[in-house]
């Protein structure tokens, strides 16, 4: 248990599932806004013999990404990977898009991972096999009614991931994208008409993240798609 991994959006869903999938093998930095949920998850991991530092913070706040990295390095002494999972899903058709909607999705889905990665890079470059993994969505490549802004932010995240990968060629830092389809998490309201049996499971997306992190140094797993078994909908 040597590597230190930051997971943003770790209090529920894909983030929490990823933390549990990695807990046996890495030291975790769990980042989200909900303190109680984070503390519960960290306690569960510690009870099973793992190590977890919980940082309750809003990543869209000024200097929050820098603060997260500083706390992680101060606590563990190093940093090896960042899983940029924090994000917000909100649907809005063209007639309902507002400046607040645009800003809210852009700040958390695009700006926050960029700034957290920027803060982490100075530490990742000094490690053996550093990783940046960005959680995107199949919406980045598809057209779903009402998802124009959300899909646009995920497409931006993917383009930036490709650019960053090229900027880091020749270093020991790899950049990967995991793009899930519709995933059964609490982001979907209880009265949603979608058939949850047709959705991906958060644990399956977490398994893809773990697969990427455990890839040998000779391989860069650039993008993994986790599609719902019931097909797109």
Which residues are tagged catalytic? 150
CA 39 to chain centre: 19
Q: Map tokens 């569960």 to a residue.
A: 44
Q: Would you say 4 and 190 are in contact if contact means Cβ atoms under 8 Å apart?
A: no
Other beta carbons less than 10 A from residue 142's beta carbon: 11
Q: Where does 9-162 show beta strands of DSSP type E?
A: 27-32, 51-56, 81-84, 130-135
CA separation for the pair 208, 133 (Å, rounded): 10
C-alpha gyration radius of the chain: 17
Question: Rounded to 10 degrees, what is the CA torsion of 208, 50, 72, 41?
Answer: 80
CA separation for the pair 145, 127 (Å, rounded): 43
Residue 83 phi/psi, 5-degree rounding, is -110, 105
């Amino acid at each position: 248990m040597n590597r230190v991994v930051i997971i943003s959006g770790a209090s529920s869903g894909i983030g929490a599932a990823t933390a549990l999938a990695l807990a046996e093998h890495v030291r975790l930095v769990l980042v989200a806004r909900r303190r109680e949920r984070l503390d519960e998850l960290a306690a569960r991991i510690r009870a099973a013999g793992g190590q977890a530092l919980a940082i309750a913070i809003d990543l869209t706040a000024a200097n929050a990404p820098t603060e997260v990295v500083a706390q992680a390095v101060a606590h563990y002494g190093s940093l090896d990977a960042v899983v940029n999972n924090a994000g917000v899903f909100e649907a809005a058709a063209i007639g309902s898009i507002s400046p607040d909607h645009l800003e809210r999705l852009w700040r958390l889905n695009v700006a926050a991972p960029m700034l957290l990665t920027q803060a982490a890079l100075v530490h990742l470059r000094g490690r053996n096999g550093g990783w940046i993994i960005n959680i995107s969505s199949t919406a980045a490549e598809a057209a779903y009614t009402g998802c124009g802004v959300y899909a646009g932010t995920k497409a931006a995240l993917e383009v930036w991931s490709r650019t960053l990968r090229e900027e880091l060629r020749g270093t020991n830092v790899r950049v990967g994208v995991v793009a899930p389809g519709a995933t059964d998490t609490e982001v979907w309201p209880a009265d949603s008409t979608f058939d949850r049996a047709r959705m991906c499971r958060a644990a399956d997306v977490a398994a893809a993240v773990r697969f990427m992190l455990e890839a040998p140094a000779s391989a860069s797993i650039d993008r993994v798609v986790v599609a719902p078994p019931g097909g797109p909908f």
